[in-house]
Structure 1
Amino acid sequence: MNNIDPVTLEVVGNYLVSTVREMGATLMRTAYSVILREQMDCTTALFDPQGQLIAQADHVPSHQGTLAYAARYVAADFELDPGDVVVLNHPYRGGTHHPDIMIFRPVFHDGRCVAIAAALGHHIDVGGRSPGSVATDARDVFEEGLIIPPLKLYKRGVLVQEVLDIIAANIRVPRETLGDIRAEIAATTVGERRYIELCERYGADRLSEIVHGLLDHSEAMVRRDLAAYPDGQYSATGYMDSDGISEEPVTIAVTVTLDRGAVTIDFAGSSPQLKGPFNASISSVEAACFCAVRYMVNPAILQNAGCYRPIKLLLPPRSVVNPESPAPLSGRFHTLERIAGTIVQAFNGARGAEAVGNGHNHLTSFSTSGRMPEGDHARSGETFVLFEYHGGGWGGTSRSDGLDATFGLMANSFDNPIEAIELRYPLMIERYEFIPDSGGGGAHRGGMGIRKDIRYLQGSGYFTNRSDGQKFPPQGVLGGGPGRPSAHALVRANGTVETLPSKITNVTISAGDLMVLETAGGGGYGDPRARDRQLVQDDLLDGKISAHAARSLYGLED
């Protein structure tokens, strides 16, 4: 970095950020499925020729370590040529879980590879025993969907049609999935074009020096911020409802050791490898740990591989955080949320008065499927699959209430518009609202959960609930109260109410049935009686708390 001036670092660094954001915008604007087009469950990134992350879009935090893991596989295992495109989703060869299909494109300048452009999208279906590829009771990876090892989808610019044919033959909604793959490919062409522009401006060798200077700079900034915390060991334990097969809770135990700007995260004491699909591959665990640590430092630090150098992980073999193939892991996102939330909880020991209440630390997610109504429209009689997820409450902090109805630490996704669902699927959203009193009480209360009621309108199909947070409410800190746990139910057309566990697969659903999803609130911060009286009155008037809670919890007089 000695011969790289700070202005150049800032200009190039922010150009790279702009590039990956443009790649992400291209992906979303050309995608077919609502999960990419509307909810932004995707990521775009640039890597150096060895697979080191040099820039990543601020989309889904759970992808920040995973693409890098796969990029290293691609860089090491392939003889890459101009015009090549590599596709993969293999969860034990750099992937995350089956629905996350990755695309990698080498970037060439003056005859040599200077970078790799990449995109990842969560696809609406990749086969397996449950529509949406979200079975909560899968026993191995083969039940969870089609596995795509790293393959060249394009060779020197020529499509290998057989690869697409194999994918299409193994999924329920090939039009959407193949369209989304093309959107990812389009995104990587943007990254290729923009990076070549940088090479032409600075020269490839000089640009490589600048990029690696950016990595060193990010590392130094992260180490500086981590060194501001008191050195020591800080432990916390988090729990998930179950692994989808057994009703035994899943334990995530972490010990965070801070040592002069370095951090070691030890998972000793976590559950052994699970029988159900809530194990997490190493690439995913890295993402959760990187994300949690990034929450502890300045968010303006440029996102690249340098940020991760101060972080060391200790992962017990054959455990929930280090499973052996073919252990199932399609539900690993809930585990990642619990990992990240538990690490943040451990950091509370070092943060003192700056501790934060627990957030919902999972996703309330589900899939439903069936057939489109017969008629004269283009999708008459086609299979449909919807996979959707919802946010809950974040924990209160020393400065403010927790965020309401927001995705967790690992999912920076958008809300799925009601209109987008009702236009594309034979479904009706009948209720979408905050749940009063769902945020834990506190001087700064926890964020609120939401209730969403979805009516199934046509024929019959399947419903799968892949959620968590029913058994272990998010805890408050420094006197703050717990958030309300999640709840899920089916209200049949005849009025019968079926209370559902957080994990259940392929329940038959028919016209007139109602899916009821209630997400968890966040834990509060501080003594509720210390809350500003005006804030209590505002919450009461807004319907965020009940009159009973205003009196009994916050001490508001009539």
Structure 2
Amino acid sequence: MATIDPVTLEVVGNYLVSTVREMGTTLMRTAYSVILREQMDCTTALFDGTGNLIAQADHVPSHQGTLAYAAKYVASNFILEAGDVVALNHPYRGGTHHPDIMIFRPIFHDGALVAIAAALGHHIDVGGRSPGSVATDARDVFEEGLIIPPLKLYRRGVLVQEVLDMIAANIRVPRETLGDIRAEIAATTVGERRYLELCERYGPERLAEIVDGLLAHSEAMMRRDLSRYPNGTYRATGYMDSDGITEDPVVIQVAVSIADGDVTIDFTGSSPQLRGPFNASISSVEAACFCAVRYMVNPAILQNAGCYRPIKLVLPPRSVVNPESPAPLSGRFHTLERIATTIVAAFNGARGSEAVGNGHGHLTSFSTSGRMPGTGDTFVLFEYHGGGWGGTSRCDGLDATFGLMANSFDNPIEAIELRYPLLIERYELIPDSGGVGKFRGGLGLRKEIRYLSGSGYFTNRSDAQKFPSLGVLGGGPGRPSAHSLVRADGAIERLPSKITNVTIAAGDLMVLETAGGGGYGEPIERDRRRVQDDLLDGKISPDVARDIYGFVQDDSAHADRQTSS
């Protein structure tokens, strides 16, 4: 560090950030599926030659630790050569769950391995018993889709066609999946090109020293920020509705111990390994913990391996956070959201008046499939939606936003209706769904999708029907999620948060209602103008305004607002 001036650190650090962002843009602009092209469920990163993270795009927080875990596996288990490309999705060899296919490209300068470029994309389908590879009742990893162990997709620049043929033969929508894999490969070529430009400018040895300095700088900044919290152990418990097979709640128990800039997160007391697919691999649990802790520090700290050095984990064997193969885990994202939300709740004990209400803490996701009218080709749509964030000491929670572990976009209605035989009939915020408080919780959303042609399947992979988001310091809980099917004849079927391959037909309506966030502070302390604005915007009902906030509608204020707008 003493030999590297701060200007060089800043220039190189931001060049690396710019590189991984450019890689991500390349991936999204060349992808075939809406889940990558529109929703941005992907990540790009750069690693040193041993698999240490040196830069990662700020796309999906749940990928923070996962790519790094896999990169180290690839670096230590392969003889890498120039032109190689390695693919994997194996959840017990560095992967996350089956739909997340990772691509790694080694970067060589003058014959020496200097870095690894990587990309990860959530693919619309990778086989398994449920379209979209999202079965909520899978009993082992073999039911969840095609497993790709780490293998070379390219050898010294030559495509191993048999590997692509094997992948294509095991999935429902090969055109989209193979197109998305090619988009990931294209992204890694960008990373290779940009990193070699840095090598030419600084020399590989000097660049390696600068990278080490960046990691040390991020570690020092993390420790500085974490040292501001009082030492101690802070506990919280989170719950999920079920594991998809039984109706028993899933328990996430955390004890966060802070000691002069070090953080240890102990999961002792969490549920044993689950029968259903909501276990989480170690790489995914690391990502959830890293993400949650980074929410507690300055977001400007460059994301690299140095950020994670102060964080230690205690993961009980054969538990929901440390399963043993072949335990199923394709639904692990919901568990990650609950882990991150629970860690933030534990940090509330150290934050005092800066505590935050719980967010919705899950992902309302669904898969629908069938045949395209006219061609008869199979279609698969996997989509997910956010809910309300918790209120804070400064502001209301965000409305209808992805949780702590996601950073994705909603699919544009036009993109769905152009690509699939579906019609979006309603897409709106749910009034009164955010917990009341001085600063209320964010609102959930309601989306209604009409199935237009033929017959197919619907899978609901969600949570938060049984356990609402809790408020803090007097704030109220958010509204739970709800899901249903309205059949073409008008019959209504209420659905649990987890159900697989329900048969649907033309005219059926899928209704998704996401959860709201918990409120912050006593409702009676809420500013009158905020209550009035919420009422005029339709975010709260007149009953809540009157009975909870003690507010009576002023018709003249409504007229004044209409005039000013």
**TM-score strictly above 0.5:** yes
- List per-residue Cα deviations over 1:364-387 (Å, max 9, x = no partner): 00000000001xxxxx21100000
- Residue 38 of structure 2 corresponds to which residue in structure 1? 38
- Residue 557 of structure 2 corresponds to which residue in structure 1? none
- Residue 248 of structure 2 corresponds to which residue in structure 1? 248
- Residue 412 of structure 1 corresponds to which residue in structure 2? 407
CA distance in 2: counterparts of 1:142 and 1:327, whole angstroms? 9
- Residue 518 of structure 1 corresponds to which residue in structure 2? 513
- List per-residue Cα deviations over 1:212-249 (Å, max 9, x = no partner): 10000000000000000000000000000000000000
Q: Which residue among 528, 532, 535 is the counterpart of 2:530? A: 535
CA distance in 2: counterparts of 1:501 and 1:480, whole angstroms? 27
Measured after TM superposition, the shift of residue 3 of structure 1 is 0.3
Q: Which amino acid is 1:218 matched to?
A: S
Measured after TM superposition, the shift of residue 284 of structure 1 is 0.1
- Residue 112 of structure 1 corresponds to which residue in structure 2? 112
CA distance in 2: counterparts of 1:324 and 1:359, whole angstroms? 30
For residues 309-388 of structure 1, what are the structure 2 equivalents within 5 Å? 309-374=309-374, 380-388=375-383
Q: Which amino acid is 1:430 matched to?
A: E
Measured after TM superposition, the shift of residue 447 of structure 1 is 0.3
CA distance in 1: counterparts of 2:159 and 2:377, whole angstroms? 27
Q: Does 1:300 align with 2:283?
A: no
CA distance in 2: counterparts of 1:37 and 1:363, whole angstroms? 19
- List per-residue Cα deviations over 1:341-384 (Å, max 9, x = no partner): 0000000000000000000000000000000001xxxxx21100
Q: Does 1:472 align with 2:461?
A: no
CA distance in 2: counterparts of 1:554 and 1:136, whole angstroms? 40
Q: Which residue among 493, 498, 504 is the counterpart of 1:498? A: 493
CA distance in 2: counterparts of 1:262 and 1:84, whole angstroms? 38
Q: Which residue among 392, 416, 422 is the counterpart of 1:397? A: 392
Q: Secondary structure at the match of 2:275?
A: coil
Q: Which amino acid is 2:356 matched to?
A: V
- Residue 239 of structure 1 corresponds to which residue in structure 2? 239
What's the TM-score, normalizing by structure 1? 0.99
Moved over 6 A (4+): none
Measured after TM superposition, the shift of residue 52 of structure 1 is 0.3
CA distance in 1: counterparts of 2:107 and 2:526, whole angstroms? 55
Q: Which residue among 543, 547, 551 is the counterpart of 2:546? A: 551
Q: Which amino acid is 1:474 matched to?
A: S
Measured after TM superposition, the shift of residue 410 of structure 1 is 0.2
Q: Secondary structure at the match of 2:258?
A: strand
Q: Which amino acid is 2:465 matched to?
A: Q
Q: Which amino acid is 1:107 matched to?
A: I
Q: Secondary structure at the match of 2:138?
A: coil
Q: Does 1:148 align with 2:143?
A: no
Q: Which segments of 5 or more consecutive residues in structure 2 lack a partner in the other structure?
A: 554-565
Q: Which residue among 447, 450, 455 is the counterpart of 2:445? A: 450
CA distance in 1: counterparts of 2:411 and 2:552, whole angstroms? 39
Q: Does 1:228 align with 2:223?
A: no
Q: Which amino acid is 2:36 matched to?
A: L
Q: Does 1:424 align with 2:403?
A: no
CA distance in 2: counterparts of 1:415 and 1:452, whole angstroms? 11
Q: Secondary structure at the match of 1:479?
A: coil
Q: Secondary structure at the match of 1:162?
A: helix
Q: Which amino acid is 1:434 matched to?
A: L
CA distance in 1: counterparts of 2:9 and 2:216, whole angstroms? 11
- Residue 200 of structure 1 corresponds to which residue in structure 2? 200
For residues 266-277 of structure 1, what are the structure 2 equivalents within 5 Å? 266-277=266-277
CA distance in 2: counterparts of 1:539 and 1:47, whole angstroms? 46
CA distance in 2: counterparts of 1:322 and 1:128, whole angstroms? 23
CA distance in 1: counterparts of 2:187 and 2:504, whole angstroms? 37
CA distance in 2: counterparts of 1:415 and 1:471, whole angstroms? 25
CA distance in 2: counterparts of 1:224 and 1:261, whole angstroms? 6
- List per-residue Cα deviations over 1:486-536 (Å, max 9, x = no partner): 000000000000000000000000000000000000000000110000010
- Residue 430 of structure 2 corresponds to which residue in structure 1? 435
Q: Secondary structure at the match of 2:193?
A: helix
CA distance in 1: counterparts of 2:373 and 2:496, whole angstroms? 30
Q: Which residue among 475, 484, 493 is the counterpart of 2:479? A: 484
- Residue 166 of structure 2 corresponds to which residue in structure 1? 166
Q: Secondary structure at the match of 1:214?
A: helix
CA distance in 1: counterparts of 2:384 and 2:236, whole angstroms? 27
- Residue 462 of structure 1 corresponds to which residue in structure 2? 457
Q: Secondary structure at the match of 2:488?
A: coil
CA distance in 2: counterparts of 1:553 and 1:364, whole angstroms? 28
- Residue 3 of structure 1 corresponds to which residue in structure 2? 3
Q: Which amino acid is 2:16 matched to?
A: L
Measured after TM superposition, the shift of residue 553 of structure 1 is 1.1
CA distance in 1: counterparts of 2:268 and 2:469, whole angstroms? 22
How many residues align? The count is 553
Q: Which amino acid is 1:188 matched to?
A: T
Measured after TM superposition, the shift of residue 203 of structure 1 is 0.2
CA distance in 1: counterparts of 2:152 and 2:478, whole angstroms? 48
- Residue 133 of structure 2 corresponds to which residue in structure 1? 133
Q: Secondary structure at the match of 1:504?
A: strand
What's the TM-score, normalizing by structure 2? 0.98
CA distance in 2: counterparts of 1:531 and 1:399, whole angstroms? 12
CA distance in 1: counterparts of 2:511 and 2:434, whole angstroms? 19
Q: Secondary structure at the match of 1:254?
A: strand
CA distance in 2: counterparts of 1:481 and 1:176, whole angstroms? 44
Q: Which amino acid is 2:23 matched to?
A: M
CA distance in 1: counterparts of 2:364 and 2:325, whole angstroms? 27
Q: Which amino acid is 2:180 matched to?
A: D
Q: Which amino acid is 2:514 matched to?
A: T
- List per-residue Cα deviations over 1:234-288 (Å, max 9, x = no partner): 0000000000000000000000000000000000000000000000000000000
Measured after TM superposition, the shift of residue 415 of structure 1 is 1.2
RMSD between aligned residues = 0.4
CA distance in 2: counterparts of 1:399 and 1:199, whole angstroms? 45
Residue identity (%): 85
Measured after TM superposition, the shift of residue 557 of structure 1 is 2.6
Q: Secondary structure at the match of 2:49?
A: coil
CA distance in 2: counterparts of 1:556 and 1:529, whole angstroms? 10
CA distance in 1: counterparts of 2:523 and 2:487, whole angstroms? 39
CA distance in 2: counterparts of 1:502 and 1:414, whole angstroms? 22
CA distance in 2: counterparts of 1:192 and 1:475, whole angstroms? 46
Q: Which segments of 5 or more consecutive residues in structure 1 lack a partner in the other structure?
A: 375-379
